[in-house]
Amino acid sequence: MAEDPLLDVRDLKVEFHTFRGVVHALRGVSFHLHRRETLGLAGETGCGKSVTALAILRLISRPGRISHGQIIFEGRDLLTVGEAEMRRLRGSQISMIMQEPKMSLNPVIRVGDQVAETLLIHDHSLTRGTAKTKAVEMLAGLGIPDARRMAERYPHELSGGMAQRIMIAMMLVTRPKLLIADEPTSALDVTIQAQILAVMKTLIHEIDTAVLLITHDLGVMAETADRVAVMYAGSMVEIGPVRAVLKDPQHPYTQGLLKTIPNAVAPDRPLFSIRGTVPSLLQPPIGCAFAPRCERALDRCRSEVPPRYLLEGGRHVACFLHQGCPEVGTQPEPLVRQNEAGRVSSRMA
């Protein structure tokens, strides 16, 4: 029997009520995340990746609201629990690494105290000295040299890579069951990216944490994720094992997205770009959101929203080009494990 998913997001819709009208930021997003699995969430800026993460933590603030759906975490719908219970879950069971780490750190508190404070908030039995010791141990586990001395520094004394390590330490020190990493390496150079991803993978494996990795960098996705979910205009268009999706994408948008990567184009040819522009979510298209830009669009694509079809290997694709395949119901997506030999290299991505 397949194990139940740790996180099960069902038909999630998020709206932002503005003076110009209602922005439909998420339009029926559904996906599963299993224990000890890393699911990559990919897509261009504005497609809804960060909104999805904030919705899981119920951090959508006005003028936004979650208008429909379920967020099942360990069998409980997070949209039905009280705010006090959500505060208990945030940081202890579900943690999130935000973008721009230096903006998330308090500039007047030593970084070791900030990591220790996370422990003290969620475990009142700890003394401040014990929490500080555990904080230093976590910093050392993330490969920070002379962790005890680093714990006494202030955020402005840190490099970008070191600040990112501090943020990761704050989110993992409570040993959460789910870690949401929103662009955890976007502002770092390639060498520091590789170091941070390596220590993250090692530490996450040690504490059995599931990861929702949000990134626009498909190279990072290829090296880190087990499965990948591709978003476009607030909807999921393709979900499947990372190797299969990146080597043989089945949705026209995913195919176009992979063609835009510079190293996927011959040196003597211009860079590929998807024609047209992303539709306004104030007035999204009636049918498939990608239809106005799709070179293979059918007539029904402009009037009907395609369901998700189940392809071989457990892949889900929301495209009428696969209408001969069975439609996906509510069953969990299969848990796909890949060994190192089965991963796609960053060059292939």
Helix ranges restricted to H, 47-127: 49-56, 83-89, 101-104, 111-122
Q: Is the pLDDT of residue 152 over 80?
A: yes
Q: Tell me what the mean pLDDT of segment 239-244 comes to.
A: 95
Q: Is the pLDDT of residue 318 over 60?
A: yes
Q: Is the pLDDT of residue 187 over 70?
A: no
Q: How many CA atoms lie within 13 A of 173 on its CB side?
A: 29
Q: Is the pLDDT of residue 220 over 90?
A: no
> Regarding the domain with residue range 7-93+177-342, which homologous superfamily does it belong to in the CATH classification?
P-loop containing nucleotide triphosphate hydrolases (3.40.50.300)
**Range from 106-115, 175-184, 339-348 that averages highest in pLDDT:** 106-115
With the C-alpha atoms ordered 74, 79, 82, 84, is the resulting torsion angle positive or negative? Answer: positive
Is residue 329 very low, low, confident or very high in pLDDT (cuts 50, 70, 90)? Answer: low
Angstrom distances, CA of residue 266 to CA of 19, 254, 258, 260: 46, 19, 14, 12
Count of C-beta atoms within a 10 Å radius of residue 228: 29
The ranges assigned to domains in the chain are 7-93+177-342, 104-175
41-65, pLDDT tens digit by residue? 998 888 999 999 999 999 999 999 9
Q: Is the pLDDT of residue 284 over 50?
A: yes
Q: Is the pLDDT of residue 316 over 60?
A: yes
The structure's pTM equals 0.87
Return the pLDDT at 264.
59
Return the pLDDT at 346.
33
Q: Tell me what the mean pLDDT of segment 129-141 comes to.
A: 92
Return the pLDDT at 157.
92
Is residue 303 very low, low, confident or very high in pLDDT (cuts 50, 70, 90)? Answer: very high
65-120, pLDDT tens digit by residue? 999 999 999 999 999 999 999 999 998 999 998 877 777 889 999 999 999 999 99
Cβ(58)–Cβ(33) below 8 Å: no
Distance, CA of 255 to CA of 253 (rounded, Å): 5
Return the pLDDT at 334.
45
